[in-house]
Each structure stands twice: as C-alpha cells, then as structure tokens.
A and B are shown apart, each in its own frame.
Chain A
Amino acid sequence: MNILETESERLLDAVRGLLARKGLVSPAEIAERIAITDAASPGQGARMVAKAWTDPAFKALMLEDGGKAAEALDIPMRGTPPLGVLENTPEVHNLVVCTLCSCYPRAVLGYPPFWYKSAAYRSRAVRDPRGLLAEWKTVLSPDVRVRVVDSTADYRWMVLPMRPAGTGGWSEERLAGIVREGDMVGVTVPNR
C-alpha cells in the first residue's frame, strides 16, 4: 500500500481503528478533541479581553497565567501549550509572529488566519514591524515602543489590547464584540 495514494477517509478510519484497538486514544477522546478544536475561535479570546477590561482581578490572573484565566471562562486548555498574555500599554505595543512556522494560540483564537502563515508576514514582522503595522492602518506614535514577540518554542502568545476610549459602561458582551483576532495578534487595535 502506498500511503500517499490511499483514500484519506479510509486511511483516517484505519488509523482511528488502530489507536482504539491499541488503547492509545478512545473514540470518545477523539470526538472530544474535535469538538474543542471546532469551538475554538477568536470569540473565546475576545471574551477574555472583555473580562480583563472590566475585572482587575481577572486581568491580573490573565497576565500571570493565560491558561488559568482561559479555564476560568470555561475555555478548554487541557493538552495545550502554556498561554502567555502580552499587555499593550500607552508605552508598549506588542506584535506576535512565528518566524519558524505558524505557532498560534489556537485554544483561544482558533485557526490562524492565512496571512499569519505567509512568508511575507513572518519575515516583515521582525524586519520592519512599523512598516507592516502601517499597512494594517495601525499607526503608532513614535514614543510607543514596538515589541515584536517571535513565538519560537513552547509558549503561545496573545495580546491584551488597550480598551478604546468611549466604551465606559459597556457590558462585557458588547466589549467582546469589538475585539477582533488581529487585535489579539497585535496587527490592529480595537475601535469602538
């Protein structure tokens, strides 16, 4: 049998059958993992950001241990890499990239967008971050320090953006609605 020419559905069935027969992974565990992967989306990260904007204790937990903060909002983190959270401030703007491949905090942001995996994004984020940000229409004051975080190893990183002005009194749900995936990668900032 040539594995490259095998029909993918049959190959998948065969591998699943072997995993179950050898007691390595049960069908229920596979189903659970598929459900978790499908449920992961930028909406999960946005919920964390909105909660951090309104709850100082949660924000402190999120900056200390992103994984624990996600679990506190019932986001499944079992088996995922540690999650680090980078706080944007009036002094520092964070931008996340993986120059080696496409490391991405999938548990809280879902699948990485196509541009995150492109050679252009990966090289320019470290070589010319301000030029790249300008193309995203994100213009930072020259006194804001840009901190590029190259996600190279066992951590995954998300950005905690600054809460936009004019959102006082908004509910968590309404705040979560203005947080996009790019805001949590650092290519953009949330707008009300």
Chain B
Amino acid sequence: MFAPGAAVRVKGDWPEARGPVHIRTPHYLRGRRGTVVRLLGAFPNPEDLAFARPAEARALYHVAFGLGDLWDDAGGSDELMVELYEHWLEAA
C-alpha cells in the first residue's frame, strides 16, 4: 500500500512485447516518477477482466506527475493526474 505523498515510479515494463494484453497504464508514463495523491479504491484487475479470466481486486491510486518531468520542453507547475493500479507502481 502507498500513502498519500509517497514517491513512486511506474514500472518500466512492456507486457505488450510478450503477447496479447489489455493494459490501462499509458505508454508515456512507463518508468516515470510521480507522487501518490490518494487511494481511489479497489477494482477487479482489468488486465484479467478483458480476457474473461478471474480478476482479483487491485488497489487503484490517483498519481500526480509534473509535466516538466514528462516532457523536456514543459515547465512550470503544470501537472498530470492518472489512475494507476498498485502492481504497476514501485517505491521511488
């Protein structure tokens, strides 16, 4: 579990390269560092749900990223918030 304010990194993983998948973690965030805003709840893992496999509930977080940390030419305090499942996050 991650507490609000926890520094996290999105796993730099590419399951797409290993076979058919359904992934709700955008490409542009893989490997990026962000900050947990809050826990949104637990939802059946869409990666299993999409293939009609038994889907266990996974924690879903709202995670904030500085736009300047994502794009070289972006600056200032603009930010991005994204819903990410716990199994895609690691402590940073």
* Interface, chain A (partner B; CB < 8 A): 82, 84, 99-100, 126-130, 142, 145-155
Contacts and interface: CB of A to CB of B under 8 A. Distances in A.
Nearest to A127: B71
Contacts of A155: 40, 60, 83
Contact of A153 (B28, B60, B78, B80): B60
Band of interface residues on B: 20 to 34
Contacts of A146: 67, 78-79
A90 B40 CA distance: 25
Interface string B54-81: 0000001000000100110010111111
Nearest to B61: A153
B88 to A, nearest CB: 10
Nearest to A148: B80
Given A152-B84, A153-B60, A154-B60, A100 B24 contact: yes
A154 B71 contact: no
Contact of A145 (B25, B40, B79, B83): B79
Contact of B67 (A82, A148, A153, A154): A148
Given A153-B24, A153-B46, A126 B80 contact: yes
Contacts of B67: 129, 146, 148
